[in-house]
Each structure stands twice: as C-alpha cells, then as structure tokens.
Amino acid sequence: MPTYKAPLEDMKFVLNDVIDYARLTGLPGYGEFDNDTAMSVLEGAAQFCEEVLQPINQSGDAEGCRIENGNVFTPTGFKAAYHQYVESGWPALAADEAYGGQGFPQTLRFAVEEMICASNLSFGMFPGLSHGAYHALLLHGTDALKTTWLPKLISGSWSGTMCLTEAQCGTDLGLLTTKAEPRDDGSYAITGNKIFISAGDHDLTDNIVHLVLARLPDAPPGIKGISLFIVPKFLLDTNGAPGADNAVRCVSIEHKMGIKASPTCVLAFENSIGWLVGETNKGMRGMFTMMNGARLAVGMQGLGLSEVAYQNAVSYAKDRLQGRSLTGAKNPAGPADPLIVHPDVRRALMTIRAFNEGARALSLWVGTHLDVHEKHTDPAVRKDADDFVALMTPIVKAYFTDMGFECTNMALQIYGGHGYIREYGMEQFVRDARIAQIYEGANGIQALDLVGRKLPAEGGRMLRFFFHPLSERLQRTALDPQLNEFAEPFAKVFTRLQQATQFIALKSLANPDEAGAASSDYLRMFGLVALGDMWLRMAEAAYAKMPTANGDRAFYDAKIKTARFFFTKMLPEAHGLFARIMAGAGPVMALEADVF
C-alpha cells in the first residue's frame, strides 16, 4: 500500500526563502496571515491529507462510485472524510470573508491543493469544482445570487460543478445545443444533456449547484450566443433550504481509466429552472473565469501525483535488492544491492525530484501573483500580475500534467513488475494522472492558447513580465562564482526561447500553421525555462542559507545538487525542442490527408 508525507520542509523553503511569502502580508486584508499562521495552516492540511485522505485513496479507486435509481454514491469513507473536511473549515480557506470565507492568500491554497491531489485526487475533485463555481459566481453573479448561493458553497454544505461539454461539442463550445427558455418570473427553463460532468451527482452534500452553458432562443450562432446559468439540483424553499427537485437527472456515470472515486456524470436537464449569471450571450466570460482557475488546479494534480509517486518509488528503490552496483558492492553483507545504487534508477528519481521541486516553486510563485491581482491597491500592478498569471496558466496546466504523467510512469518503471499490479498503488497514480492532460482544455489546446493568444496579446506585453526579470537575473547571477555554472548554460537556452518566440511570431503571420506546428514544442520549451528560472532562484537561496544552516545543511546541499541535475540533465532538452520548432510546419503538413 502506498504512503504519503506532505513535503512541508520544501514548501516552507519556497515560501520563506525563494518567493518571500511575507511580502503578501502588506496587501490589504492579509496582514494577519503571517509566516507562523501560514505554516500552521500547511501543517494542519498535511495532517488531514496524510491521516484522512490518503488511507481511503486506494480503496476508493477499487470500489469506485455507483449509481442506483438515478442517485450516485461515493466509495466507503468518502462521506465521512468530506464532513471532516467541511467541519475543519478547509472549503473556506481562501474564500471571500464577506460570504463566510477565511480570506487566506491564494498562495496557500495552491500548497494545500498539491497535498490534496497527492493524497487523494478523486476526493479533491469535489471541493475543486466547488471552488471554481464559487469564483465564477463571485466575479459575475448579481448580489442576490451571491447572497443566496455563495455562503453554502464556501462552507462546503453545497457543492458546485461546471457543465460545458455535450456529445457533439467539447473544445468547440459554439456547437452546443442546450436551450434556455425565458420564464415570466425572470428565471429560465434549461433543457439539454451534458457529458463528462465531474462530481455531477453524489451523496456528499445536500445540494449541487450546477453552472450550465446554454443558448437563448434568439442567441446569435456560435460561441457569441452562449449564456451562463446557475441551475441547482434542488430548488430552495422559503427558508433557503433545498426543497423541490429541479429535474436535473444523472443518466449514467462513466467507467473510466482513472479517478474512479470521482463520479463523471451524464446529466439531463429537463426544463430545469435556472438563473442567468452575467450578461446574456456573454456566458463564456464567466465560464473562462472558472476554467482558467480549473486549469491551474489541474496543473497541481500533475504535480501532486508526481510527488506521491516519487516518494513511494524512492522508498522502494532503497529497500528492493536487485543486482550489484557497477562500481562494486554497496551492500556486501546482503545478496544484492538496493536499486538506488544503479545510475538509471537514480536518473529517473532525480528527474522526478527536479520536476517536483521546480514545479512547486513555480506554482507558488504564480499563486503570489493571484494574490497581488486580487488585493493590490494599484490597478497597474494588479494588471501586471493578472497578465503574468494568464501567461503562466497554459504552462502550468499543460507542462505540469505532461510531466506528471511522465514522472508517474518513470516511478512505476522503478518497481518493475510490482509497479504493474494494484497492490503497490503505482498503477493508480499513472491512471489518475492521464486525465489531467485531457480535461479543462486538452494540452494541445493549451499550446495553441499560448502561441495564438498569449504571445501576440498587446504586442507581446505578457512576455515582458517573464522575459525582463529573467534576463536581469541571468545577468546578475552570471557574475556570481557559485551560480555561474547554472546561469551560463541557462542564458543560452533563454536566448533560444527568445529566438523561437520571434520565429513563431513572424512565420505565423504568413501561415498560421507555423504557430500550430510549433505550439506543443514551444510550450514545453517555455515550461523548461520557467522551471529553470525557479531553479536558479532556489540555488541562489540555498547557497545563501548554507553558511548558517547547521542542522539543515543537508537540505540545502541536496537543493544545490538537484539544481545541478536540472541544468545539466533536463534543461538541454530545450535545444532539441528549438531545432524542432525551427524546422517549421512543412514536415508536419506535407503528407496528404488521404495517405494517413
């Protein structure tokens, strides 16, 4: 059975020594959330994840969800765990205090989400979707809607979903056919079917608040004619409690490759009563609010699963005796040496470790920009922070989940045949990780978003908030004798990224296929550079702490050695990606379609 230990020491290092979490306490409303309070939150979350969520992860996967007479039931232990989650106040952690939230920084929510995803991804789907519904309503709902629905969503008494996909439309939402007919009282009758609805029905909460995309009778065609509606499973009575059934039916639940303890539902809306969120025919604004937040959260799924896979693979590699070290026996008293002495096993473990620690730092850095965007008093600063988050969203979603799947696969490989059977739990991590590359916008779509929207936006304005600080950091660290070994090769890769950016921008003006053909390679290259930026900062922080480290010296020494592995063994991949980008669209598009 797999185990999990929250990486609190590494989280604390990133928060305190790399991204300067303390500066957030200067933002309006964050003054009381100092370092000690933040660490207390993380320690509480770690205990909940390790002691409550992780023990029911493997059993929940084996049991799965079931549907009986249109009602969905979660696996044994999930309902009790969810009630404990609610009673401990976790749903309200980073929610608006005006509606019952605790108002903690979003940065801490990112750290907590990683722990939840690592310990029990299926469980994390329920509060994750609810937070997305909360955020969309907070930004786009009327005061009446917010007063009615947000307190219960924030407390966790009710849960939320996002209902976009239909059988004939996934990415291309302009094809959706769900109808919204106006009613005399200002509400709407919603009719249509939605598929792939995560947490679409379950037994954890008293009500489920669906956010549904639908089309008004006079709506223009395509994506410009979509509106967003709030459609609860149960209508509210005069006391604001769940009452009459609202004709939202769970037709079936999908039989999936992974996240089996999270019900993925087919929902039928049959003249279900709903209320408009935002303006008519402007529903994508609200849904993109929810989706962009979900994309960052899905990135954390890739990181969380990679972390728990790494921990278990390390434990196995230290215990499993197989063969002798190439340089002589390391366990001469035993029949063989442990797996961890073998270079290829170490290569895999170091790759996973370097990704995990770099991705953790980047995710928390993005989290601080969310907080600045929400709380800073200067509109210009808020705008800059929002642009940085927008630029990083496809990177976090796609690169983190691609690597999450690759890393769980590498971890499984270390187990050999034992990794392929259920007893050890590794195959579940691989299965669970695979969906993250698909939902909330498949990773190919994220790559197109990066090259087609984020790069050219406002003449490349978004890039400046990443490129300029990194350029300055490289110039400064190149002069540091300790950091030069990292900064010098990194500067060459960064130059390649800038050249690739210019190549895509120029070539795609004449032929948009150029951007499409380069997009996935470019996103991965960008992801490597973004992690390189964090590794350069972490190495600098580790060197700064070493003289006074005392008992923590081994931690900082390991950080520097892992940085060295990243810059010498992982970052060079960027040169190959650059070559593929510069080859252009020709080799991709040359073969006639009927020859495939």
Amino acid of residue 228: L
How much is the pLDDT for 209? 98
Same-domain status, 180 and 246: yes
Same domain, 128 and 180: no
Together in a domain, 469 and 559:
yes
What pLDDT does residue 284 have?
86
Element spanning 39, H or E: helix 35-48
Question: 3-state DSSP call for residue 482?
Answer: coil
- CA dist 194 to 117, 249, 272, 476, 577, Å? 25, 10, 13, 53, 38
What DSSP designation does 288 have? H
CB within 8 A of 90, min separation 6: which ones?
Answer: 45, 48, 112, 127, 156
Same domain, 201 and 99: no
Q: Using the 8-state DSSP alphabet, how is residue 52 labeled?
A: I
CA distances to 32, 100, 541 from 293, in Å? 25, 20, 29
In a domain, 73, yes or no: yes
Question: CA torsion, points 347, 353, 357, 363, in degrees to nearest 10?
Answer: 100
Q: Are residues 94 and 25 in the same domain?
A: yes
Please give the residue range of the domain that contains residue 81: 8-140
Are 204 and 272 found together in one domain? yes
135 plus 21 within the same structural domain? yes
Tell whether 382 is covered by a domain: no
What distances in angstroms separate CA 152 from CA 29, 205, 206, 467, one per listed residue? 22, 10, 10, 42
* Number of domains making up the chain: 3
Residue 313 within a domain: no
How far is the C-alpha of 504 from the C-alpha of 522, rounded, in Å? 9
Helix, strand counts (H, E) of the chain: 18, 11
In what helix (H) or strand (E) does residue 250 lie, and over which residues does it extend? strand 248-253
Q: What's the DSSP call for residue 275?
A: E
Which structure tokens are listed for 430?
A: 């691989």
Question: For residue 20, what are its two tokens?
Answer: 């300067």
Q: What is the pLDDT of residue 287?
A: 80
Q: Are 434 and 121 in contact (CB under 8 A)?
A: no
Among 223, 248, 281, identify where a domain stops: 281
Half-sphere exposure of 547 (CA within 13 A, CB side): 2
Q: Are residues 197 and 243 in the same domain?
A: yes
Judgement on whether residues 89 and 180 belong to the same structural domain of the protein: no
202, 126 contact by CB (below 8 A): yes
By CB atoms closer than 10 A (0-12, 13-18, 19+), residue 94 is buried
CA distance 255 to 266: 11
Q: Which residues are catalytic?
A: 440
Parallel, antiparallel, or unpaired for β 158-163 and 207-214? parallel
CA 252 centroid distance within chain: 27
Count CB-CB contacts under 10 A for residue 61: 23
0.95 surpassed by pTM? yes
Distance CA(483)–CA(407), nearest Å, equals 27
Would strands 242-245 and 66-68 be described as parallel, antiparallel, or unpaired?
unpaired
Contacts of 515 (CB under 8 A, 6+ apart): 448, 451, 452, 504, 507, 508
Please give the helix or strand (H or E) that residue 287 lies within, else none. Answer: helix 283-319
Could you say which of 281, 310, 327 is where a domain stops? 281
Would you say the C-alpha torsion 317, 318, 323, 325 has a positive or negative sign? positive
- 380, part of any domain: no
Whether residue 545 lies inside any domain: the answer is: yes
User: Among the residues of 479-583, which ranges form H helices?
Assistant: 484-510, 513-545, 553-565, 573-582
Same domain, 490 and 532: yes
**Distances 211 to 206, 288, 483, 489, 573 between C-alpha atoms, Å:** 17, 12, 49, 48, 41
Question: How far is the CA of 82 from the CAs of 70, 103, 207, in angstroms?
Answer: 22, 21, 14
CB 111 within 8 A of CB 11: yes
What is the reported pLDDT for 572? 98
Cβ contacts of 44 within 8 Å, gap of 6 or more: 88
Q: State the Cα–Cα distance between residues 108 and 514, nearest whole angstrom.
A: 39
* 330 within a domain of the structure (yes/no): no
Give dist(CA 179, CA 155) in Å, integer.
Answer: 31
Contact 178/272 with Cβ under 8 angstroms?
no
Compute the distance between CA of residue 25 and CA of residue 579 in angstroms, rounded to an integer.
Answer: 44
Same domain, residue pair 115 and 186: no
CA-to-CA distance for 99 and 95, rounded, in angstroms?
8
In a domain, 351, yes or no: no
C-alpha–C-alpha distance, residues 241 and 433, integer Å: 37
Q: What is the pLDDT along the chain (596 residues), one digit of tens a residue?
A: 899 999 999 999 999 999 999 999 999 999 999 999 999 999 999 999 999 999 999 999 999 999 999 999 999 999 999 999 999 999 999 999 999 999 999 999 999 999 999 999 999 999 999 999 999 999 999 999 999 999 999 999 999 999 999 999 888 888 999 999 999 999 999 999 999 999 999 999 999 999 999 999 999 999 899 999 999 999 999 999 999 999 999 999 999 999 999 999 999 999 999 999 999 999 988 887 878 888 999 999 999 999 999 999 999 999 999 999 999 999 999 999 999 999 999 999 999 999 999 999 999 999 999 999 999 999 999 999 999 999 999 999 999 999 999 999 999 999 999 999 999 999 999 999 999 999 999 999 999 999 999 999 888 899 999 999 999 999 999 999 999 999 999 999 999 999 999 999 999 999 999 999 999 999 999 999 999 999 999 999 999 999 888 888 999 999 999 999 999 999 999 999 999 999 999 999 999 999 99
The total number of residues shown for the chain amounts to 596
Domain CATH number, residue 136: 1.10.540.10
Tokens of 474: 């490289």
Would you say 277 and 211 are in contact if contact means Cβ atoms under 8 Å apart?
yes
Instruction: Return the pLDDT at 285.
Output: 86
Same domain membership, residue 188 and residue 125: no
Whether 345 is covered by a domain: the verdict is no
